[in-house]
Amino acid sequence: MTRVVLDANVLAPAFVNPTASAGRLLRLWRIGTFSLVTSAPILAELHRTYQDAYYARRLSPELIEAALALLESEAVTVEISVQVLGVASHPEDDLVLATAASANADYLGTRDRQLLKLGSFRGTQIVHPADLARILDSTEDDPYRHRS
């Protein structure tokens, strides 16, 4: 099964707007199109992101708690086993790359321009969430797609 890491900048809006690309990715994960892989650093960043006033105005505390609980219980959480230092422009982005490398992810979905410029990292394709949703939507309809 396709393994996908979603950056916190994709996960956070996924619960706000289900029709946007991030929301489509969340739906595709929930119906089993791909395996969502995350890590403690990504979940911690998501928790911090949800404390921002933007999200506080759009999501109730209960919905935020439910979103975090869903990811913690149903996404695959990997331990960081591959150290990444100085590849990204920010140390927290190195942790996102380390998550993807540790998970042997096929894709990393992010809105971070500096990460997108990399194109790929250790076999993981780095793509914008809109492009990733299109890629995964196309595999959803493929009758020859292998499901494991």
> Residue ranges of the domains in the chain?
3-140
Q: Is 36 helix (H, G, I), strand (E, B) or coil?
A: strand
Contact 128, 119 (CB under 8 A): no
Per-residue pLDDT of the chain (148 residues; tens, 9 = 90+): 999 999 999 999 999 999 999 999 999 999 999 999 999 999 999 999 999 999 999 999 999 999 999 999 999 999 999 999 999 988 899 999 999 999 999 999 999 999 999 999 999 999 999 999 999 998 654 444 443 3
| CA distance readout (Å), 92 to 7, 52, 131, 137 | 10, 17, 23, 29
pTM: 0.92
Contact 101, 124 (CB under 8 A): yes
Amino acid (one-letter) located at 19: T
Fold (topology level) of 3-140: Rossmann fold (3.40.50)
| pLDDT, tens only, 87-100 | 998 889 999 999 99
